[in-house]
Structure 1
């Protein structure tokens, strides 16, 4: 059970928790391994079935290409040892001979793999276990548990705060530790950070941006403070450079990554799971995924899921392909048309509806995978003749798939955690359990989509299509059962459905929702849960189009009290401005207040009156500029945009201020004067903020009000006309 794993030339250093600190162990005989096997195309039958020659391994036949490959690698400096092993190259093939290559150092893995691709015909062999992360590779090869042993003692953490927009050692005076300033000069800050870390001896350094690591070492070198330590030994290592990437059409930015000996660095600018579930949730995933804490800190959801799949594959004797190769078998045009669809969506009835109830299928997609045995090697397996997938007719193998085995413990684990949350009265235990539940939730939410991801190690598009096909049928079956039971369906989307009593059905003839949900759960083998009741739910219309917006609604929960401010759990919101990341704090607060006003008065004009009051404060400049800041993720460099929006102006101003942003990063700004030209339109969040463009923010406020009133038939123009009346009446009071 390790805290951290470091590499020193040809050695590996393990750091494990002890009662008074850590234990350091040097491993000299570790040799990272990769494999080479036959082309994957040779492992399938004509229709994609199992290995056409499962007796190959028993005969001990070694392909000629592997013998040539062995001769080519023999004697190379990067290669420590070459052997013939027997592994399965896919979940659907039998074990057969492969070439195992033990490298001298971790850095040699990719160079050997690239060298092989340059040797002969690359289609004659397939590379395996090439792009595993270095700490995961070590724990897999040595059967080392990736989670630190917190039964010995709790992890110690230290928070280092540093403004994201700053760069250069001259800015180190702004650095803080656990919220407190520690010096004004770079030398003083560097000395104090080293001293504080030495005295606290943290296991985890939580930094606002990992850029602070090289900056501190740069300052130490500048002022003669070497050797300098942020870790348990001097020095640091850059693991990766910053980069920009695109995922599902969204541009993201990955900051540079660093490590220091014997400690874990969690970069708040480059971590999903720590932001969503805290350290408790991360540690829970470390145990479940076997991905060490340092790597899990920066890992995406897909990478964590892949780590789980890799461990399951290893337990089944299956190698991990370097570049995923999956044959997409022949399908007719009609099958493609039926299969290439998402989940079922039912257009909502625009308006405000009273006495509404929501029902959800529990972890629908993960449970479909488990209950119906959907896995890349089971869908269209080639050995079973059935039409198990509804409407599409794909077969599903009778043998158990590996993907249900990966997701089953997560589904059961989260159900158990949710049960314990309901039972506990301890706030600290509840917070820990909720963090763990949140971490698991994100893996379960993404497992379905990842099957269709082109870079997924074990994904397959037919698997993705099959999950959707089952989901569509299940929701439609639930809709039919509810309507037969005397309920009217207002909205349905993928795994959720909203109903209200059908007015034409007498109450005595209406079946209880619990009874219908139980029957649907038994029929579909997936639990249909009663999510909650609402006094009313408002479904918003689509902007600029007819019909209801699928994911824009808000509703007042039954029996839940409002907090002193905001909505809390009393109102469920989806898709409206207060739920969007780029909405200024003041606009979100305004919208929440308008929803509370609507709930209290059931009067649209009362909502407009409240809006007028808030706009009055805005026009009198009583709103703090910090509450009007906008945060936007940028997808390109400033010069690549065609239109001069306020976001582009903010990007250009950031570049002018020597804090240029890369694509995928976020810019935070205030609209200062929208009528100005160029950089004068905005102010960045770290600048002195005085004044703002009242007219611009007024438009945003009215837009947020429209979301609240649009289910009642009000649009922006009607809101503006009504506001004029309120303004005139207020002015007349002073005549």
Structure 2
């Protein structure tokens, strides 16, 4: 059970928790391994080419092509050993001989794989287990448990706070250690940080930006603070440079990554799971995914899911392809038309509806995968003749798929955690359990979409299509059952459905929702849960159109109390401004207040009266500029934007201020003159913020109010007209 793993040229160091600190274990005989096999195109036959029993090993000699590769690699400095081995190259094929290549160092694996591809005809061989991350590779190949043994002691953390926009040595005076300033000059700060790290001996360094690591070592070198250490030994390693990537159509930015000996560096600017689930959630995923904490801290959801799949594949004797190659078997045009669709979505009835009930299928997509044995190697397996996938007609193998085995423990684990949350009255325990539940939730939410992702190691588009096909049928079955039971369906989207009593059905003839939900659950094999009752739900229209917006609604939960400020759990919101990341805090609070006013008065004019009071305070300069900051993700370099928006002005100003942002990073700014041109339109969040453009923010306030009132038929013009009235309605009037 390791905390972290460090790699040197000729050795590996494992760091284990101990009662009084850590224990370092040096490994000198570790040899990272890749495999070379036959081209995948030769392994498939009709439909899937699955052999009668892929579980039975089949031994034999290496092919002539693999023998030539063996001779080519023999004697090369990066290669330690070459020998035949027996593995399955895919889930659909049997065990067969492959060439096992043991390398001298981790960094040699990719270079050896490139040489293999450059040798002879690249279509005559396929490389496996090439692009595994370093620590995951080590734990897989050595059967080392990547979970730190917290039964010995809890992990110790130390927080280094540093402004994200700073990169100069002189800015080190702004660095804080656990919230405390530790020096007035770079030399004082570098020395103080090293002293505090040595004194506290943390296991995890939590940094706002990993740029602070090389900056501290630069200061130590400049001011002769040698030897300098942030780890349990001196020095640091840059693991990766900063990069920009695109995922699901969204541009992201991956900052440079660093490591220090014996400690985990957790970069808050580059960690999804820590921000969503905290350290407790991360540690839970380390145990479930087998991905060491250092790598899990910066990993995406897909990478964590891939780690789980890799471990399951290895347990089944399946190698991990370097470059995924998945054949799409022939499909007719009609099959493509039927299969290439998403989940069922019903157009919502625009308006405010009373006595609304929401029902959700519990973890629908993961449960479809488990209940119906949907997995990349089971769909259109070629060995089973059935039409298991509704409407599409794909067959599904009778043998257990690997994907249900990966997701099953997560589904059951989250259900168990949620049950423990309901039973616990300890706030600290509840917080830890909620962190763990949140971490698992993100894996389950993404497992379906990842099957259709082109870079997924084991994904397959037919698997993605089959899951959607089951989901469409299940929601339509639920809709039919609810309508037959005397309920009117207001909206349905993928795994959720909203109903209200049908006006033409007497209450005595209406069947209870819990009874219908139980029957549907038993029929489809997935639990249809009663999510809750709403006093009212407002379904918003599309902006500029008459139809209902699919994901823009809000509703008052029955029996929930409002907190002192905001909406809390009393109101469920989706798609409106207060749910959007780029909405200023003041607009968030305004919209929450307008929704509360609508709930209390049921009157649009009263809502406009409150809106007018807030706008008057805005126009009188009573709103703190910090509450009006906007945060936007940068999708491309500033030079590539063609429209001069306020966000583009902010990017240009950031470049002018020598803190240019790469695509995928975020910029925070205040609009000070929306009608101006150039850099003067905005101020960045780290500049002096004194004034703002009242007119620009007034328009944003009216837009937020329109989202609240649009379900009542009020548009922006009508709201503007109401604001111009001389008198302001008060709540006492109602």
TMscore range, shorter length? over 0.9
Deviation at 1:636, TM superposition (A): 1.0
2:597 matched residue in structure 1 = 597
CA distance in 1, matches of 2:567, 2:51: 58
Deviation at 1:699, TM superposition (A): 0.3
Q: Deviations over 1:673-726 (max 9, x none)?
A: 112120000000000001100000000000000000000000000000110114
1:384 matched residue in structure 2 = 384
Structure 1 unmatched runs, 5+: 731-735
SS in 2 for 1:446: helix
2:77 matched residue in structure 1 = 77
Q: Does the Cα contact within 8 Å between 1:612 and 1:727 map onto a contact in 2? A: no
1:577 matched residue in structure 2 = 577
2:440 matched residue in structure 1 = 440
SS in 2 for 1:321: coil
Q: Deviations over 1:235-289 (max 9, x none)?
A: 0000000000011111000000000000000000000000000000000000000
1:55 to 1:226, Cα distance in 2 relative to 1, 3 A: closer
CA distance in 1, matches of 2:59, 2:291: 37
1:550 to 1:713, Cα distance in 2 relative to 1, 3 A: same
1:637 matched residue in structure 2 = 637
Deviation at 1:51, TM superposition (A): 3.9
Deviation at 1:54, TM superposition (A): 7.1
Q: Does the Cα contact within 8 Å between 1:56 and 1:96 map onto a contact in 2? A: no
CA distance in 2, matches of 1:576, 1:729: 25
2:27 matched residue in structure 1 = 27
Q: Does the Cα contact within 8 Å between 1:84 and 1:99 map onto a contact in 2? A: yes
Q: TM-score, normalised on structure 2?
A: 0.98
SS in 2 for 1:86: strand
2:514 matched residue in structure 1 = 514
CA distance in 2, matches of 1:438, 1:676: 44
Q: Does the Cα contact within 8 Å between 2:350 and 2:540 map onto a contact in 1? A: yes
Q: Does the Cα contact within 8 Å between 1:646 and 1:674 map onto a contact in 2? A: yes
| 1:207 counterpart = 2:207 | yes
CA distance in 1, matches of 2:660, 2:474: 49
| 1:239 counterpart = 2:246 | no
1:74 to 1:659, Cα distance in 2 relative to 1, 3 A: same
2:321 matched residue in structure 1 = 321
| 1:395 counterpart = 2:395 | yes
1:457 matched residue in structure 2 = 457
Deviation at 1:638, TM superposition (A): 1.1
CA distance in 1, matches of 2:540, 2:593: 18
CA distance in 1, matches of 2:29, 2:62: 29
SS in 2 for 1:725: coil
| 1:219 counterpart = 2:216 | no
1:268 matched residue in structure 2 = 268
CA distance in 1, matches of 2:666, 2:84: 50
Residue correspondence of structure 1 range 315-714 to structure 2 within 5 A: 315-714=315-714
CA distance in 2, matches of 1:79, 1:61: 21
Q: Deviations over 1:406-435 (max 9, x none)?
A: 000000000000000000000000000000
1:53 to 1:144, Cα distance in 2 relative to 1, 3 A: closer
CA distance in 2, matches of 1:55, 1:210: 46
Q: Does the Cα contact within 8 Å between 2:62 and 2:99 map onto a contact in 1? A: no
| 1:283 counterpart = 2:283 | yes
Q: Does the Cα contact within 8 Å between 2:489 and 2:497 map onto a contact in 1? A: yes
Deviation at 1:230, TM superposition (A): 0.3
CA distance in 1, matches of 2:128, 2:576: 46
Residue correspondence of structure 1 range 140-179 to structure 2 within 5 A: 140-179=140-179
| 1:196 counterpart = 2:196 | yes
Q: Does the Cα contact within 8 Å between 1:45 and 1:52 map onto a contact in 2? A: no
Q: Does the Cα contact within 8 Å between 2:58 and 2:86 map onto a contact in 1? A: no
Deviation at 1:168, TM superposition (A): 1.2
Q: Does the Cα contact within 8 Å between 2:59 and 2:96 map onto a contact in 1? A: no
1:733 matched residue in structure 2 = none
2:102 matched residue in structure 1 = 102
Question: What RMSD, in angstroms, separates the aligned Cα atoms of the two structures?
Answer: 1.3
Deviation at 1:546, TM superposition (A): 2.4
SS in 2 for 1:335: helix
Q: Does the Cα contact within 8 Å between 1:45 and 1:51 map onto a contact in 2? A: no
Number of aligned positions between the proteins: 730
Q: Deviations over 1:432-471 (max 9, x none)?
A: 0000000000000000000000010000000000000000
Deviation at 1:32, TM superposition (A): 0.2
SS in 1 for 2:725: helix
SS in 2 for 1:394: coil
Q: Deviations over 1:297-336 (max 9, x none)?
A: 0000000000000000000010000000110000000000
Q: TM-score, normalised on structure 1?
A: 0.98
CA distance in 2, matches of 1:111, 1:546: 58
Residue correspondence of structure 1 range 17-56 to structure 2 within 5 A: 17-51=17-51
1:67 to 1:191, Cα distance in 2 relative to 1, 3 A: same
Which one is further off, 72-81 or 60-69? 60-69
SS in 2 for 1:631: strand
Deviation at 1:41, TM superposition (A): 1.3
Q: Does the Cα contact within 8 Å between 2:606 and 2:729 map onto a contact in 1? A: no
Q: Deviations over 1:498-542 (max 9, x none)?
A: 000001000000000000000000000000000000000000000
Q: Does the Cα contact within 8 Å between 2:391 and 2:469 map onto a contact in 1? A: yes
Q: Does the Cα contact within 8 Å between 2:625 and 2:692 map onto a contact in 1? A: yes
CA distance in 2, matches of 1:260, 1:686: 30
Deviation at 1:53, TM superposition (A): 10
Deviation at 1:49, TM superposition (A): 2.5
CA distance in 1, matches of 2:525, 2:331: 29
